[in-house]
Amino acid sequence: MIAECGHYALVLALALALVQGVVPFIGARRNDAALMGVGEGTATGQLVFIGAAFAALSWAYVVSDFSVLNVIQNSHSSKPLIYKLTGVWGNHEGSMLLWVLILAVFGAAVAVFGRNLPPVLKADVLAVQGWIGAAFLIFILFASNPFVRVAPAPFEGQDLNPLLQDPGLAVHPPLLYLGYVGFSIAFAFAVAALIEGRIDAAWARWVRPWTLGAWIFLTLGIAMGSYWAYYELGWGGFWFWDPVENASLMPWLAGTALLHSALVMEKREALKVWTVLLAILTFSFSLLGTFLVRSGVLTSVHAFAVDPLRGSFILVILALFVGGSLTLYAARASSLRQGGLFAPISREGALVLNNLLLTTAAATVFVGTLYPLALEALTGGKISVGAPFFNATFGPLAMALLIAVPFGPLLAWKRGDLFWAAQRLWFAAGAALLGGAGTWLYERGGPALAPLGFALGLFVLVGAFAELVERTRLFRIPLGDSLRRARGLPRAQWGSAFAHAGLGITLMGIVAATSWSAEQIEALKPGGTIAVAGKELTLDSIGPRHAENYVDLAARFTIREGGTVVGHVESAKRTFAARQMTTTEAGLVSFGPSQLYVSLGDVQDDGSIAVRVQWKSWVLLIWGGALFMAFGGVLSLADRRLRVGAPKRARNAIPVPAE
Amino acid sequence: MTRKGRRLVLIAVAGVVLASAVGLILNALNDTIVFFRAPTEIAEKPPQPGTRVRLGGLVKAGSVHRDGKTVTFVVTDGKSGVPVSYAGLLPDLFREGQGVVTEGSIQADGHLAADSVLAKHDETYMPKEVVDALKAQGRWKEGEQ
């Protein structure tokens, strides 16, 4: 009965989405306040009904209702409660339900927090949100219904894929979807602006916090996914250039570009047409990502067993929204008037360069991801485009961008002075060169480019704070005055410094982990030792260990350095009873930002076990940098200027509800 | 600078960035892509030693041998088989009779020295390339996985 209620709630939500797509839109054309107001009610209504459907599915999982097909396929009565809950979105149908739930959350947020939006803009934005919601609800109801029943119900479920029975599943998909779907707001604003044929700085001021919020979630989601793959898949890589990873990287790159171009538009009323296009492209990349992940057209870690109907269905949605919005853009973009002038060397110019490089980088990822599909469709030839391609194309573009990053914030609006900016960066450049030379002496070996890459990361990290040093006149006036100035700086300035610094940190981590890591594989018996990067691991014991729904074959090691014990680590092969499937539970020990990564292979005929020990130099910096970026985003979001968010022209500003 | 001049600079910079990206992509597509081959294709038209290929098929039952750190096995599509050697830990779902995709370079004796071995991550999922290779030999039945 609960499942039927959930199903019915989804149908009601679809009806509301259709109303939301039509009524406020007509209201906006007729300037009818009553019709435009309908959008608010339907948006909150959608959230309520989709929330109810999601709760119903979660309930079916919690009580292990094996008359629901989705629960049979992805759950098991002996599964721990947390994985029963996260298992709700650990499958195709449930994850699509999570997708529309998050869409509904954002739609309702616009309805509730957008009280001081111009009514016509708000009605149009909600209408576009309604179309997106309706499209995906139709997809769920007709091609991926999670509430399908089975009679007779089996006694036991088939369990969730063991790789997914991990806390990572609780966080990674929701964060990623908050990012993907959050960009739908920027998209809706862009389409609404095109429909109205009017756009101004206030528009950018409205779009920026939503985009920033989505960007923070996407950054965290990607980093979380990368860390999860690193420890769970057992081979210790942090990025595979897997099509699905690329699918999340493309909206991230476009979204980052959007954040920066919206800044130009807000401050200087320039780049309007381009910003609108970026908003459309960013969400298009999100939709493309959804298509790539959910259709299974590309071989990937994330592919579920697939029904071809679903792929075609999402492809139609993709074509409708991307094609429709780009057509609208082509027809209406010329009606948006261009704004302020600026010299090529200026803050605006730097942000244009940032946009150029980011979108070009996104384009190379796009080509690399879809080229195999296109080639197979055209010639039938099957190829794989892997890391070498992306290193050769994405790499140089990213390097060019990173070199430019510290300069940008030091250039003035309208007309900047490159030489002056360069003078401010002497310290950062010096620190980078010293640091690069230092690591080269310390690490020895590795590719010749590695110390340079590491130095570039340091340059970005130190250079990120150059603007703050300048603003606070640090070391030139008494420290107390500097601190007072630092407190007075807008939070957005701190935010961008932290986000840029995070970029540098991540780069340092990537360079170090790919260049100075080491690994050893050895077949060991208890008492045997294996050495890597100056650490010696002794296998103390191997033995089984039982838990709720799996059995571990656990190996315990003692780590010694120069004869003294510096730690212990345990690594396991975990066999899940329900699916008889084995996963590698890697053992990780951190030494500062570096990690030892121990994974087990098969037991050999003579009773020894294959052990692979990897030394991952500075690897934690990769995700640490992403945390910095997200923290920068949060700081920026907390800036008063964004929080007030009210357009300047509003004569009597209506107070925004406290957050 | 005039509006026109500014636009020219912008177009020039965009042109340079785009041209270099296109150059990088074309260059990389020449050097870095790897062709997928089914075992029968390799048997019928052996690639030059040193060629990098991606090979997909089923792990032939009884062909897996471990010799210290190195593992050897045969990847088959039911008609022909290609011997593969791999020094590393095999993925968790690597099993005899199951689908596998390996990548590496062809050696002078015709065997593939693999540097990566991918098995599926979900037992109901079979890599598309493997399905196609098996279909080509008529060894694939819909619904049988």
- pLDDT for A562 equals 87
CA distances from A485 to A479, B24, B98 (A): 10, 45, 65
Do A244 and A172 contact (CB within 8 A), yes or no?
no
CA A358 to chain centre: 16
H/E stretch holding A133: helix A119-143
Residue B127 in contact with partner chain A when CB distance is under 8 A: yes
* Cβ of residue B66 closer than 8 Å to a chain A Cβ: yes
Q: What is the percentage of chain B residues whose pLDDT exceeds 90?
A: 10
C-alpha triplet A557, A561, A566: angle, nearest 5°? 60
- Say yes or no: A374 contacts chain B, CB-CB below 8 A: no
Whether chain B has a CB inside 8 Å of the CB on A608: the answer is no
Interface check for B132 against chain A (CB to CB < 8 A): the answer is: yes
CB pairs under 8 A between A and B: 127
Residue from the list A301, A599, A610 with its beta carbon closest to the beta carbon of B121: A301
For chain A, residues with pLDDT lower than 70 are: 296-307, 338-339, 640-659
More confident residue, B135 or A620: A620
**Can you read off the two tokens belonging to residue B23?**
């150059």
pLDDT, position A523: 86
pLDDT digits (tens, 9 = 90+) for B13-61: 889 989 999 998 888 888 788 888 888 888 888 888 888 888 888 888 8
CB atoms within 10 A of CB B126: 21
Interface contact B88-A521, CB threshold 8 A: yes
Which residues have a Cβ under 8 Å from the Cβ of A84 and sit 6 or more positions away?
A61, A62, A64, A75
> pLDDT: is B79 or B119 the higher one?
B79
**Chain B residue whose CA is closest to A358:** B17
Residue A3 near residue A65, CB atoms below 8 Å: yes
CA of A531: how far to CAs of A331, A394, A444, in Å? 65, 35, 18
Interface with B, mutate which of A277, A294, A389, A394 (most B CBs under 10 A) = A389
For residue A521, the chain B residues in CB contact (below 8 A) are 69, 87-89
The answer, for B70 touching chain A at a CB cutoff of 8 Å, is: no
**Using an 8 Å Cβ cutoff, are A303 and A243 in contact?**
no
Question: What pLDDT sits at residue A549?
Answer: 81
Residue A657: the pLDDT is 45
pLDDT of A309 reads 78
Which pLDDT score is estimated for A267? 85
The answer to whether residue B16 neighbours chain A at the CB level (below 8 Å) is: no
Residue A411 and residue A590: Cα distance in Å, rounded?
A: 40
Three-state SS at A575: strand
The residue length of chain B stands at: 145
Taking CA–CA distances from B33, the nearest residue in chain A reads: A385
pLDDT at A604: 78
B32–A389: do the CB atoms touch at under 8 Å? yes
pLDDT score recorded for residue B123 = 54
What average pLDDT does the segment B90-98 reach? 80
Q: Which long-range contacts (CB under 8 A, 24 or more apart) does A375-378 make?
A: none
The pair of structure tokens assigned to A112 is: 């509730």
Sequence-ordered list of residues with C-beta below 8 angstroms from that of A495, at least 6 positions apart, any chain: A632, A633, A634, A635, A636, A637, A638, A639
A386 touches chain B (CB under 8 A): yes
How far away is chain B from the Cα of A116, in angstroms, using its nearest Cα?
35
As a whole number of angstroms, the distance between CA A362 and CA A351 comes to 16
Which chain B residues are closer than 8 Å to A311 by Cβ?
none
B107 contact A CB<8A: no
Q: Do A581 and B123 touch (CB under 8 A)?
A: yes
Give residue B127's pLDDT: 66
Of A535, A553, A536, nearest to A544 (Cα)?
A: A553
Write the DSSP assignment of A188-201 as a string of letters: HHHHHHHHHT---H
Contact criterion met (CB below 8 Å) for A470 and A411: no
> pLDDT value at position A647?
44
A353, A269 in Cβ contact below 8 A? no
- Looking at the complex, does the CB of residue B10 fall below 8 Å from at least one CB of chain A? yes
CB-CB contact of A502 with A627 (8 Å): yes
